[in-house]
Amino acid sequence: MDFLSGEIFYIDKPLGWTSFDAVKRLRSAMLRRLKPYGVKRLKVGHAGTLDPLASGVMIVVTGRSTKLIEELQAGVKEYIATIALGATTPSYDLETTIDATYPTDHITLPLVVETLKRFQGAIEQIPPAFSAIKVDGRRAYNMARKGHTPQLKPKTLVIDEIELLSFSPTELRIRVVCSKGTYIRALARDIGEALGSGGHLTALQRTRVGTVDLAHCLSIDAAVEAIEQAPLTFLDDTLN
């Protein structure tokens, strides 16, 4: 491996880890390998953030390959999402507690099927207040956690596919194929609103980024083991 010239790792990010946690763990393992060569810094990044409450495909890039981040994260994403109906939370997921409840007796399978069709294709989506988007130079989530309501503008995005995997009046499980920049938490909010029941995300797994799916991915431990054991190679000018 040549971490300085650039490597690409496909990781199955664990539930509860931030994307930064995963990058930090891999970077630390690489720097331990490079320490005998006098390397103290290494550029490592990722193509597409996953929230701590989400798991699944994450692409980690190193060295000169970090130039590919924009290209890599531009690919379509696929997710498996579980949406609880009948209640909302300020963050649209389990990061915050339920702030309102609604009836679900009116929710039927035909209603759900017809409602989901409205979310396929080009749609407008307002990002979550609990997101990393900057508003007047401040992160929206910092404002939201202090009780302020950041004014976020709707974004146009594309939902290529939305498939109902399981149904009950209080919970949906869906598969979503979508463009870069889609917030599945916000999609859960909007589906709940459209059903007249409210909704929030209770589980999320990213199963594909571009052509990379879970079958291509290593666990964090397996990636660290590969980093620790793989032969190192360097271009002639790498350490100059």
Q: Read off the pLDDT of residues 163-174 as tens digits, 9 standing for 90 and up.
A: 999 999 999 999
Residue 240 has pLDDT above 50, yes or no: no
The predicted-structure confidence for 207-238, as pLDDT tens digits, reads as follows 999 999 999 999 999 999 999 998 988 654 45
Determine the average pLDDT of the residues in 131-154. Answer: 69
Q: Which residue has the higher pLDDT, 103 or 152?
A: 103
Name the pairing type of β-strands 171-178 and 138-139.
unpaired
Distance from the Cα of residue 213 to its chain's centroid: 14
* Residue pair 202/89 in contact by the 8 Å Cβ criterion: no
**Which of 89-93, 103-107, 126-130 comes out lowest in average pLDDT?**
126-130
Q: What is the DSSP letter of 235?
A: -
The predicted-structure confidence for 17-68, as pLDDT tens digits, reads as follows 999 999 999 999 999 999 998 999 999 999 988 989 999 999 999 999 999 9
Find the helix or strand (DSSP H, E) in which 80 lies. Answer: strand 77-85
Q: Respond yes or no: is residue 99 known to be catalytic.
A: no
Determine the average pLDDT of the residues in 132-160. Answer: 74
Q: Which residue has the higher pLDDT, 7 or 127?
A: 7
**How far is it, in rounded angstroms, from Cα 238 to Cα 236?**
6
Output the pTM of the full model.
0.89
**How far is it, in rounded angstroms, from Cα 104 to Cα 83?**
13
**How far is it, in rounded angstroms, from Cα 193 to Cα 72?**
33
Q: What is the pLDDT of residue 140?
A: 65
Its sign, for the CA torsion 92, 95, 98, 104, is positive
Q: Which residue has the higher pLDDT, 100 or 37?
A: 100
Q: What is the pLDDT of residue 236?
A: 46
Say which of 2, 12, 21, 51 is annotated catalytic: 51
The tally of CA atoms less than 13 A away on the side-chain side of residue 121 is 3
Q: Which residue has the higher pLDDT, 190 or 132?
A: 190
195: three-class secondary structure by DSSP: helix
34: three-class secondary structure by DSSP: helix
Place of tokens 């870069």: 180
Residue 143 has pLDDT above 90, yes or no: no
Q: What is the pLDDT of residue 32?
A: 95
Q: How sure is the predictor about 239, in pLDDT bands with cuts at 50, 70 and 90?
A: very low
Q: What is the pLDDT of residue 145?
A: 72
Instruction: Tell me the pLDDT of the chain averaged across its residues.
Output: 91
Q: How sure is the predictor about 141, in pLDDT bands with cuts at 50, 70 and 90?
A: low
